[in-house]
Amino acid sequence: MMTLKQIQAIYAIYPNIVRMSENIAYDKDGIIVEYIESVVQDYINAHAYIEKRVAEYPSIGDQLDALWKGGEAAAEMLAKVQAVKAKYPKEVTP
């Protein structure tokens, strides 16, 4: 059984895939589309930073509040967000 992350990665990598059933992918005409599992896993690994960042970012409400207040509040919020980005950098792929 595939995980939701795997299915989402397949849809992101292979735009011609419109339906998944079990581990089989199909295009709009119902023709089976082959996908490469290692490419799917590489995609998942390269995007793992996103969930980690989301879990540690201040809430959107807090971020908007800081922006509204401006000045020192905005600067402090920017520092918090930048710290999370530095902790979980984007994967650089060649």
Enumerate helices (H) and strands (E) in the chain, giving the number of each. Answer: 5, 3
Nearest to 21 by CA among 31, 13, 12: 31
pLDDT at 17: 96
pTM listed for this prediction: 0.68
Six-digit token string for 21 = 């059933």
Residues of the chain scoring pLDDT < 50: 94
